[in-house]
Amino acid sequence: MEIPEDLRYTREHEWARRKGSAIVVGITDFAQEQLGDVVYVELPDVGDTVKKGESFGVVESTKAVSELFAPISGKVIEVNDPLSDAPETINEDPYEEGWMITIEPSDPKDLETLMDAAAYKAFVEEQE
Amino acid sequence: MRYHPHTPDDVRAMLDVIGAERVDELFRSIPQALRLDRPLDLPPAADEIALFSELRRLAARNETAHPPFAGAGCYPHHVPPVVDQLLLRGEFFTAYTPYQPEISQGTLQALFEWQTFVCLLTGMDVSNASMYDGATATAEAALMAGRITGRDKVVVSAALHPEYRKVLATYLRSTGDEIVTVPFGADGRTDLAALEQAVDGRTACVILGYPNFLGVVDALPEAAAIARKAGALTVSATAEAVSLGLLQSPGALGADVAVGTFQSFGNPMSFGGPAPGFLATREKSVRQMPGRVAGATVDKQGRRGFVLTLSTREQHIRREKATSNICTNSGLCALASTIHLSLLGKRGLAELARLNHGRARMLRDAMERAGCRPVYSGPFFNEQVFDVGDAEAVVARLAKRGIVAGAPLARWYPDAPLARWYPDAPHAKGALLCATTELHGPELIQLFAGAVRS
Amino acid sequence: MANPTGWKPSMEQEAKGGGAAAEAPGLGGAVRGLAYEEPLVFEHGSRGRCGVSLPPPPADFDASDLPAALVRPAVDGLPELSELEVVRHFTRLSSWNHGIDTGFYPLGSCTMKYNPKSSEALARLPGFAELHPLAPAELAQGALELMYRLERALSEIAGFDATTLAPAAGAQGELTGLMLIRAYHEARGNPRKKVLIPDTAHGTNPASSALNGYAVVQLASGPDGRLHPETVRAAMDEDVAAIMITNPNTLGVFESHIAEIAGIVHAKGGLVYGDGANMNALLGVARPGDMGFDVMQYNLHKTFATPHGGGGPGSGPVAVKAALVPHLPLPLVVKEGERYRLVTEARERPQTIGKLREFWGNFGMFVRAWALIREYGPEGVRATAELAVLNANYVRKQLEGTYHLPYPTDSLHEVVFDDAQQKDAGVTTMDVAKRLIDHGFHPPTIYFPLVVHGALMIEPTETESRETLDAFVAAMKAIAEEAKTDPEAVRAAPTRPVRARLDETRAARKPVLRWQPGMNVE
């Protein structure tokens, strides 16, 4: 299971990556593996606002539905639209091609409240 | 007891394996105080001969000499014997929901065919695998429109089937959504000016009968245009689906959701149930659709097969966040419709629909000759309202001759009397809603018109 | 190890050469012996064919009275088939299905018992099947009497004061029950906010609660699989409208603390809802109405053997105590002297929750259920529960040890195993289920209830013979053995039905939900 060093993580298994002043968000390798084959993803629209800890979409396998929780608050400035036609990308490449949305954070310090790779690794091991 | 295979020896041997003395011990987890200490108060067991004689006697009391002239959401049609013969194949009727697709391909492919028939007839992109009935399908469509639009008001035509409106009210009570009812005009069509006034930025959907409860082919395209302008969806509700063999499909006229029942295809009236409700919609709304749906896929060897799919919408996975709580639907009734529609096919459906409409015109002529004027001037399919003077009296009088004469309209509009909207109309008391189908031949129609007059 | 079918899975694999080529249909469409491939009904036939016989339309018919914009030409894409073609199509499709008439169907919580043929014949009597719902009462006395008597019988069997027959299926019965509860509380000034539901509940319970605007509070069952009074006491307050309990629960375990739990809920003004899905275990032995339940839905297609029909129609009558009677939905059947009548209007029942569906309920199902109750009488109804419980315990005893029993508590009409003892060999509940198909059995309910990981929920019902149960037990044991010796063979199952495992991911990613003209469904 892959946990890139340079990302931040939530307890709900989302990752967050700094990209300039914005933050890119997706779900972790662990999350996609638990979920199984992703068949559907529902994401917000560009311009929507999201709130830290609140649901911004859902991701589904054939037998399970999982809500997506925003790691930080802010405004959605980019959405990975190709995912809706190719949700399997989330299984195949969760950290790169499988990214979901880009957020312009309302408080850039939010990111620092999230787990780093080591903390997330420990958290996942505890879950298993 | 022919359905219980256990001999006393079987019971003894099985108890030995379990390690119990008596069957009663197997119930030891039920505290004694909660047990029933007497036999149930039910009539004593009847053997098959007694059973048949008793139920035949009950059934005989409901038999009538002629097919009813009542429709009002449940229609007498000829069901070819093929339908029932195939339906009675135990592999179909004793199967459960196709959760194990490898051994349920028969049910699954038939449901896929049902969904296709519903789409072809309604002009929609996708259909679910059936609903309980037309009324609950209407309520579910309104809930669905609420989810899609995020709005909390539903505008319904007073000419939508009153039973559908009642069920809608029951379902929407918990959501607190507002229901606004708009009147119909002298032609029996929804009053478009009133509709335009009622529809606003809070409106999730507009619901019309197509044909409506008065038998009139309602102003669906006009209503859909009004709804679209306000960002609301249009729901068309069809109780007499044979009409879709003659009338333009709801999808072609601008409806976003088509609901109703396919009772008319292959299902007996059975005192009003069961029958297969349907719900079909546009591709983009498929994930907001309630209920089960069958989809095509392939097996491990690459052969085409079918499964229940998109099940994450449903209660067994999404629980309290499901699109609906529906589980069991009307699978066998949907199969009956699928078989009947396969028999009818392209030519048969067109002929059946034209035959039904022709019989309605025949009835109109006969009733006019008998001095009973049609109440509404709008176009009709196989059902229409006549002013018979005193509808309840006519129903009672014809009942004595074993004829079910129709539905007295006043019974259905007690809280919104027709007279309130149309003080000059004679029909509040006189209005009788009558249906004619392929079962009503020319002689029977003459007999009926004569009996209404006398 | 006994193999009741005498058939060796490995032979089949070899004979087929493992490839799809061996599966190419013969000229008559047969794949193997009398098993046929069959296209969609839209994919065959020939232009101009028709499978019905209708009188000719009136000679002068032209639909000129209808606005031209509203008239459609014949619907493109509808099939064009002779009667025989239609008969063969559906006969072949039926042969791809497993039904109770085909073989054992131990689908837990679904109560797949034999559906009597007598009931089918009776429901088809013209006086029932051809009765219009708006027939005047004097032309429907027989139907109304049947409904009246069924209502009385259902009230007696579950120990309640009255029953509504209206709900179309069990889930709608639940919805109705919760609406009644809401109406009851509203009449007392406060509808309340929450419903308590144990973690063993059916998914319809929380879904029905949500549809009624209630928040769901999930309660953990104890280590013995039962709900404990202290759990309920801790969650119970005056915002709780009701608790929903299935008894016996979905583990087949009787909630023996039910009376105390009902007391706790009642003390705070709440009501107790019973999911009657498992009523088969209690018939004639004990009555929910005597245990503290205030309202309960039946599933006639489970308890009273009306056919499941590949997913319906159902019928979900709801039985209630006197306090809820004023709120019952419409219609009600009343007896006035020797005459029966439907009460259909709210003006006669001002506190009713209203109408739940069109007309009067799934009457066709009432006829079938009533026929069974009449044939059984009180002794037969009770024997149903006794033999259902005997059968389930017989299977349980013989599979204990071979399969892991997560809750060793006494169980009634069904028993839940899991795959803990097969896991090490890499064989899961899904694999066991699919392998059962190769032995000619419908699999049990799997992965439910959710409190058991890899649940295998077996409900034999009372209509199965000891020999059938023995054969099933032998197959289950053979699969457990095979899981040790040849786990790959188990994972490759099923190999015998017309289709191997189907790709559900593909179906959900790119949904193909219908055929259309010119389309190649694949």
| Per-residue pLDDT tens digits for B208-245 | 999 999 999 999 999 999 999 999 999 999 999 999 99
The verdict on a CB contact (< 8 Å) between B319 and C63 is no
pLDDT, tens digit (0-9, with 9 covering 90-100), for C264-302:
999 999 999 999 999 999 999 999 999 999 999 999 999
R_g of chain C computed on alpha carbons? 26
Report all structural domains of chain C as residue ranges with CATH numbers, in order of start: 36-94 (no CATH), 119-375 (3.40.640.10), 381-507 (3.90.1150.10)
The verdict on a CB contact (< 8 Å) between B126 and C179 is no
Question: Position of tokens 């004593």?
Answer: B44
CB atoms closer than 10 angstroms to residue C223: 9
In angstroms, what CA-CA distances link C9 with B330, C4, C5, C435? 37, 13, 10, 10
Query: Cα–Cα distance between C417 and C458 in angstroms, integer?
Result: 8
What DSSP assignment string belongs to C43-70? G-B-TT------PPPPTT---TTS-GGG
Q: Does A64 touch chain C (CB under 8 A)?
A: no
Give the model's confidence band at C56: pLDDT under 50 very low, under 70 low, under 90 confident, else very high.
confident
ipTM above 0.95, yes or no: yes
pLDDT, tens digit (0-9, with 9 covering 90-100), for C178-212:
999 999 999 999 999 999 999 988 888 888 898 88
Q: Is the pLDDT of residue C22 over 90?
A: no
Cβ–Cβ < 8 Å for B178, B205 = no
The listed range with the strongest mean pLDDT (B139-153, B304-318, C43-57) is B139-153
Contacts with B287 from chain A: Cβ below 8 Å: 40, 42
The verdict on a CB contact (< 8 Å) between B315 and C139 is no
Give the model's confidence band at C19: pLDDT under 50 very low, under 70 low, under 90 confident, else very high.
very low
Residue type for position C6: G
Q: Does C519 touch chain B (CB under 8 A)?
A: no
pLDDT, tens digit (0-9, with 9 covering 90-100), for A49-104:
999 999 999 999 887 888 999 999 999 999 999 999 999 999 999 999 999 999 99
Mean pLDDT is lowest, of B78-92, B283-297, B307-321, B437-451, for: B307-321
Closest CA to B35 of B26, B44, B46: B26
Residues B356-366 have a mean pLDDT of: 96
Going by DSSP bridges, is the β-strand pair C240-246/C271-275 parallel, antiparallel, or unpaired?
Answer: parallel
Going by DSSP bridges, is the β-strand pair B257-261/B233-238 parallel, antiparallel, or unpaired?
Answer: parallel
Query: Cα–Cα distance between B210 and B213 in angstroms, integer?
Result: 8
CB atoms closer than 10 angstroms to residue C453: 12
Q: Does C193 touch chain B (CB under 8 A)?
A: no
The verdict on a CB contact (< 8 Å) between B96 and C355 is no
Enumerate residues 206 to 265 of chain C having a beta carbon within 8 A of any beta carbon in chain B: 206-213, 216, 253-254, 256, 258-259
SS3 C210: helix
Cβ-based burial of C143 (10 A; exposed 0-12, middle 13-18, buried ≥19): buried
Cis bond before residue C331 (omega within 30° of 0)? yes
Enumerate residues 273 to 312 of chain C having a beta carbon within 8 A of any beta carbon in chain B: 282, 284-287, 290-291, 299, 301, 305, 307-312
What per-residue string of b and e applies to B388-418 under the rule 16 or more CB within 10 Å gives b? beebbebbeebbeeebbbbbbbbbbbeeeeb
Contacts with A60 from chain B: Cβ below 8 Å: 312
Q: Does A90 touch chain C (CB under 8 A)?
A: no
| Structure confidence at residue C5 (pLDDT) | 36
The verdict on a CB contact (< 8 Å) between A65 and B318 is yes
Helices B331-369 and B442-453: angle between axes, nearest 10 degrees: 60
Beta bridge partners of C197: C218
Cα B8 to chain center, whole Å?
47
Q: Does C513 touch chain A (CB under 8 A)?
A: no
Instruction: Tell me the nearest-neighbour CA distance from A108 into chain C, angstroms.
Output: 35
Q: Does B287 touch chain A (CB under 8 A)?
A: yes
Instruction: Tell me the nearest-neighbour CA distance from C484 into chain B, angstroms.
Output: 24
pLDDT, tens digit (0-9, with 9 covering 90-100), for B121-176:
999 999 999 999 999 999 999 999 999 999 999 999 999 999 999 999 999 988 88
CB atoms closer than 10 angstroms to residue C350: 7
Q: What is the mean pLDDT of chain C?
A: 92
| Structure confidence at residue B138 (pLDDT) | 98
SS3 C408: coil
pLDDT, tens digit (0-9, with 9 covering 90-100), for C160-176:
999 999 999 999 999 99
| Structure confidence at residue A61 (pLDDT) | 87
Q: Is the pLDDT of residue C15 over 50?
A: no
What per-residue string of b and e applies to C424-434 under the rule 16 or more CB within 10 Å gives b? ebebbbbbbbb
Query: Cα–Cα distance between C42 and C34 in angstroms, integer?
Result: 23
Q: Which two tokens stand for residue C78?
A: 């509808």
Query: Cα–Cα distance between C390 and C392 in angstroms, integer?
Result: 6
Contacts with A87 from chain C: Cβ below 8 Å: 509
Residues C138-158 have a mean pLDDT of: 98
Q: Which two tokens stand for residue C28?
A: 């008559």
Q: Is the pLDDT of residue B26 over 70?
A: yes
Give the model's confidence band at B328: pLDDT under 50 very low, under 70 low, under 90 confident, else very high.
confident
Q: Which residue of C has its CA nearest to A59?
A: C509
What DSSP assignment string belongs to C308-349? -TTT------EEE-GGGGGGPPBPEEEEETTEEEEE--TTT-
Which chains lie within 8 Å of chain A at 3 or more CB pairs, if any?
Answer: B, C
Q: Which two tokens stand for residue C261?
A: 């739990």
Q: Which residue of C has its CA nearest to A41?
A: C509
SS3 C247: coil
Annotate chain A with three-state secondary structure: CCCCCCCEECCCCEEEEEECCEEEEEECHHHHHHHCCCCEEECCCCCCEECCCCEEEEEECCCCEEEEECCCCEEEEEECCHHHHCCCHHHHCCCCCCCCEEEEECCHHHHHHCECHHHHHHHHHHHC
**Whats the size of chain B, residue-wise?**
454
Q: Which residue of C has its CA nearest to B359?
A: C58
Q: Does B93 touch chain C (CB under 8 A)?
A: yes
Question: Position of tokens 């929407």?
Answer: B172
| Structure confidence at residue C24 (pLDDT) | 65
Q: Which residues contact C331 (CB under 8 A, 6 or more apart)?
A: C166, C342, C343, C344, C360
Closest CA to C368 of C278, C283, C308, C282: C308
| Structure confidence at residue A62 (pLDDT) | 80
Going by DSSP bridges, is the β-strand pair C318-320/C332-336 parallel, antiparallel, or unpaired?
Answer: unpaired
Inter-chain Cβ pairs, chain B and chain C, closer than 8 A: 697
Q: Does B318 touch chain A (CB under 8 A)?
A: yes
Cβ-based burial of B260 (10 A; exposed 0-12, middle 13-18, buried ≥19): buried
Instruction: Tell me the nearest-neighbour CA distance from A7 into chain B, angstroms.
Output: 30
Query: Cα–Cα distance between B262 and B239 in angstroms, integer?
Result: 7
Q: What is the mean pLDDT of chain B?
A: 94
Cα A95–A99–A105 angle (5° rounding)? 110
Report all structural domains of chain B as residue ranges with CATH numbers, in order of start: 8-60 (no CATH), 81-338 (3.40.640.10), 345-453 (3.90.1150.10)
Instruction: Tell me the nearest-neighbour CA distance from B314 into chain A, angstroms.
Output: 10
Helix or strand run (H / E) with residue C235: helix C229-235
pLDDT, tens digit (0-9, with 9 covering 90-100), for B375-427:
899 999 999 999 999 999 999 999 999 999 999 988 887 655 454 555 555 55
pLDDT, tens digit (0-9, with 9 covering 90-100), for B92-129:
999 999 989 999 999 999 999 999 999 999 999 999 99
Report all structural domains of chain A as residue ranges with CATH numbers, in order of start: 8-127 (2.40.50.100)
| Structure confidence at residue B323 (pLDDT) | 75
| Structure confidence at residue C35 (pLDDT) | 76
Q: Does A71 touch chain C (CB under 8 A)?
A: no
| Structure confidence at residue C391 (pLDDT) | 98
Give the best residue of A37, A65, A90 to mutate against chain C (max C CB count within 10 A). Answer: A37
Cβ–Cβ < 8 Å for C109, C277 = yes
Q: Is the pLDDT of residue B79 over 70?
A: yes
Cis bond before residue B8 (omega within 30° of 0)? no
Q: Does C509 touch chain A (CB under 8 A)?
A: yes
| Structure confidence at residue B420 (pLDDT) | 53
The verdict on a CB contact (< 8 Å) between B287 and A40 is yes
| Structure confidence at residue B410 (pLDDT) | 85
The verdict on a CB contact (< 8 Å) between B91 and C97 is yes
Contacts with C509 from chain A: Cβ below 8 Å: 37, 39-40, 87-88
| Structure confidence at residue B418 (pLDDT) | 57
Q: Does A92 touch chain C (CB under 8 A)?
A: no
Query: Cα–Cα distance between C18 and C211 in angstroms, integer?
Result: 49
Q: Does A37 touch chain C (CB under 8 A)?
A: yes
